[in-house]
Structure 1
Amino acid sequence: MVPPSKRDPSMDADLNEADQLEVLLNKDGFKTWGFVIYRCTYLNNSDWEKFIARFLGAVPDYLEFYSGLDLLDTFAPTVLEDPSFEGATIATLREHFKQWAKASLKEEQGVAEDYYARTGAMESILSAPEEFEDEAGFVRMVHAEWQPEVLDEEDIANGDVSEPEEPLEGCTEHDVGWMNMRWSIIELPGFHKLRDIDDWQAYYARPPAIGDIL
Structure 2
Amino acid sequence: MSTENGPTTSDAAPYSFTLKDLNASTWADHPLGRTAYGMKRSGFHRWGFVIYRTTYDDDAAWERYVEVLKRIARSVLVDEGGDVLLEQYMDCKQFSPAFSRLNIDGSRAGNATLEGASKAEVRKHFISWREARSEERDGPGATKDRAKRLPRFKHCVYVDRKCLDTLAGLPADCDEEKLFNVVAVVIDGSFDEKTPGDDEGLYPDIEGCTARYVGWRYEDIEMLVDTYEESHNYPLSHIDYKRPPLISPNGRRSMPA
Corresponding position: 1:147 with 2:192: yes
Displacement of 1:47 after TM fit? 0.5
1:71 to 86, 102, 108: 86
Q: What is the CA–CA distance in structure 2 between the aligned matches of 1:70 and 1:80, rounded to whole Å?
A: 26
Alignment-derived partner of residue 123 in structure 1: 158
Letter in 2 for 1:78: K
Deviations 1:94-141 (A, max 9, x none): 110011112224432423376354431212223142453323x21011
Q: Hey, what's the Cα distance between the residues in 2 that align with 1:15 and 1:70?
A: 12
1:202: which partner in 2?
239
What's the offset of the Cα at 1:170?
Answer: 1.1
On the 8 A contact 2:217/2:247 being kept in 1, the answer is yes
Contact 1:38–1:79 (Cα < 8 Å) also in 2: yes
Instruction: Quote how far apart the aligned CAs of 1:28 are.
Output: 2.7
Instruction: Give the letter aligned to residue 39 of structure 1.
Output: R
Question: Contact 2:48/2:90 (CA < 8 Å) preserved in 1?
Answer: yes
2:10 is matched with: none
The verdict on how the C-alpha distance between 1:16 and 1:174 changes in structure 2, with shifts beyond 3 A counting, is closer
Partner of 1:56: 70
TM-score under structure 2 normalisation? 0.66
Aligned-partner Cα distance in 1 for 2:134–2:246 = 32
In 2, Cα distance between the equivalents of 1:112 and 1:67?
26
CA distance in structure 2 between the aligned counterparts of 1:198 and 1:34, rounded to whole angstroms: 16
User: In structure 2, what is the equivalent of residue 101 of structure 1?
Assistant: 130
Which is worse superposed, 81-90 or 53-62?
Answer: 81-90
Q: What is the aligned partner in structure 2 of residue 212 from structure 1?
A: 249
Structure 1 contact 24–192 (Cα < 8 Å) conserved: no
1:134 correspondence with 2:180: yes
- Secondary structure (helix, strand or coil) at the match of 2:202 reads coil
Partner residue, 1:111: 142
**Pair 1:35 & 2:49 matched:** yes
For structure 1, list consecutive stretches of 5 or more residues without a partner in the other structure.
Answer: 8-12, 153-159
Letter in 1 for 2:214: V
Deviations 1:71-99 (A, max 9, x none): 22211111001371111111110110011
Q: Which runs of 5+ in 2 are unaligned?
A: 1-24, 98-111, 251-257
Which sits farther off after the overlay, 34-43 or 55-64? 55-64
3-state SS in 1 of match to 2:217: strand
Q: 1:162 to 1:38 in 2, by over 3 A?
A: closer
Amino acid across the alignment from 1:86: E
* 1:21-51 residue CA offsets vs partner (Å, 9 max, x unmatched): 2112123322111111001111110100111
1:140 and 1:40 map into 2 onto residues whose CA distance is 11
How many correspondences in the alignment? 194
Query: Measured at CA, do residues 75 and 150 of structure 1 come closer, stay the same or move farther in structure 2, by a change above 3 Å?
Result: closer
Is the CA contact 1:105–1:113 (under 8 Å) kept in the aligned structure 2?
no
Over aligned residue pairs, what C-alpha RMSD do you find?
2.7
> Residue 76 and residue 162 in structure 1: after superposition, are their counterparts in 2 closer, same or farther (change >3 A)?
closer
2:216 maps to 178
Structure with the higher fraction of residues in helix conformation: 1
Partner amino acid, structure 2, of 1:100: W
What is the rounded CA distance, in whole Å, between the counterparts of 2:216 and 2:117 in structure 1?
14
Greater mean alpha carbon deviation, residues 79-88 or residues 203-212: 79-88
Identity %: 23
Q: Using the TM superposition, give the Cα deviation of residue 191 of structure 1 relative to its aligned residue in structure 2, in angstroms.
A: 1.4
For the 8 Å contact 2:133–2:143, the answer to whether it is kept is no
Give the Cα–Cα distance (whole angstroms) in 2 for the partners of residues 50 and 147 of structure 1.
33
Judging changes above 3 Å, is the alpha-carbon distance between structure 1 residues 170 and 161 closer, same or farther for their aligned structure 2 residues? closer
